[in-house]
Amino acid sequence: MRSPSIPPPPPIGPRRRRLAALLTALLLPVAALTPGGWPAAAEPGSAAEPGSAAEPGSAAAVSVTATTSSTVRYGQRSRAVRSLQNKLIAAGALGAEDNTGYFGAKTRAAVQRVQRRSHLRATGRVDFATRRAVGRAVRAATGPRTWYHRETVGTSAEGRPILAYRAGEPGRPVVMVVATMHGEENFGQYVARGLLEGRPVTGVDLWVVPVLNPDGLVRDRRWLKGGVDLNRNFPHRFVVRANSGPRATSAKETRVVMRLLDRLQPRYLVSWHQPLIGVDTYGVKDRALLRRLSSNLHIAPRYLDCHGSCHGTMTGWYNARYDGAAITVEYGSTARSLARMKGRDADAVLKAVGGARG
């Protein structure tokens, strides 16, 4: 127990502030290496941002490389491996379903792919030069950013930031895309990323939450800690089940996205999932939106009734509470290519919700 006689810490002076800034600068890239947001160099449009965390050759990048390259190797299973895999996916060198955390043949082949592209010897080993090549490949696969506003709309149960990005034109209809509500469903975030990169977005006021469940994404698990399924935790037709949480809105992440939706009240809300491959017809509110999404994405309509237990879902709650229409899109179990998800599919969604590219 802390003794009451200890004086309070002195106010932070300029020297301490400089020290704190230096520490932050050194630690930030380390934090960025942990999966759960964008991989260090893969924030949407980050290539267009000077001084981003993973600038090659910066002192911080060197120290991170030196620390982690020795710990990521063939046959290993770790978070560091998954972090590398997320970068390989963001570079288009690995399928998005291969973020297993296990460094096997597929990961090695992806590393070799990047090495060959960079005219390095295709050893499949992750050395310093390879890490830099991966960073360059991610940046090369990252388009200029469309978004002009980024906001931490809340934090996860474990304190990870939940980010929302805004692109498009203020004053136009508000539309929103939410992905990775289930932590193991990582594909939708690449569509989200595609919306935040490329030619400017027009015709809509677009909000994107690429990762609603960052804690689950880190673990590659559907649930929040404690086994709560976010998509059973909303206060609409809520029932107490093993996976629903003890009461509606018990999960922090549920409250975070509800607050954002209450504030913005989008005309369209697209919720991205996998692996059931379909555009959901269950309780559909706007059939025209359903048809546009289905035909633009080449994903057939499908009746996704949660095996008879669509209780406490985000789309159900939103559809009941607001005039706008919420709908679920499910990718399959195998990811489409990064180029497809970020390119054609992102454009397909944008068009379906009334937007375009400038």
Nearest to 192 by CA among 338, 301, 31: 338
DSSP 3-28: -TTSPPPPPP-HHHHHHHHHHHHHHH
> Which one of the spans 9-17, 57-65, 82-90, 265-273 is the region binding Zn ion (CB under 5 A)?
265-273
Q: Which of residues 50-89 bind Zn ion (CB under 5 A)?
A: none
Question: Shortest Cβ distance from residue 204 to Zn ion (Å)?
Answer: 24
- Which sign does the torsion angle of CA 112, 40, 168, 265 carry? positive
Using CB under 5 A as the binding rule, whether residue 232 contacts Zn ion is answered as no
Only segment of 47-55, 57-65, 179-187, 204-212 that touches Zn ion (CB under 5 A): 179-187
CB of residue 228 to Zn ion, shortest distance in Å:
13
Q: How far is residue 227's CA from residue 222's CA, in Å, rounded to a whole number? A: 8
Does 182 contact Zn ion by CB under 5 A? Answer: yes
Stretch that binds Zn ion, among 95-103, 141-149, 183-191, 344-352 (CB under 5 A): 183-191
Shortest Cβ contact with Zn ion: which residue? 273
Could you tell me how many residues of this chain bind Zn ion (CB under 5 A)?
A: 3
Question: What is the smallest separation between the CB atom of 276 and Zn ion, expressed in angstroms?
Answer: 8
Least distance to Zn ion, CB of residue 185, Å: 5
Kindly tell me which of 93 and 304 has the beta carbon lying closer to Zn ion: 304
- Where would I find the beta strands (DSSP E) of the chain? 149-155, 161-168, 174-178, 201-202, 205-209, 268-273, 278-280, 301-302, 325-330, 356-357
HSE-up (13 A, CA, CB side) for residue 337: 7
Contact stretch for Zn ion (CB under 5 A) within 23-31, 232-240, 266-274, 289-297: 266-274
Q: What DSSP state is assigned to residue 344?
A: I
Task: Decide the pairing of beta strands 201-202 and 278-280.
Answer: unpaired
State the Cα–Cα distance between residues 101 and 249, nearest whole angstrom: 31
88 pairs with which residues across the strands? none
Among 87, 273, 292, 342, binds Zn ion (CB under 5 A): 273
Nearest approach, Cβ of residue 345 and Zn ion (Å): 17
Give whichever of 108 and 336 is closer to Zn ion, judged by the CB atom: 336
Nearer to Zn ion, 273 or 336 (CB): 273
- Residue with Cβ nearer Zn ion (219 or 273): 273
Element (H, E) at 256: helix 252-264
SS3 291: helix
Minimum CB–partner distance for residue 248 and Zn ion (Å): 18
Residues binding Zn ion (CB under 5 A): 182, 185, 273
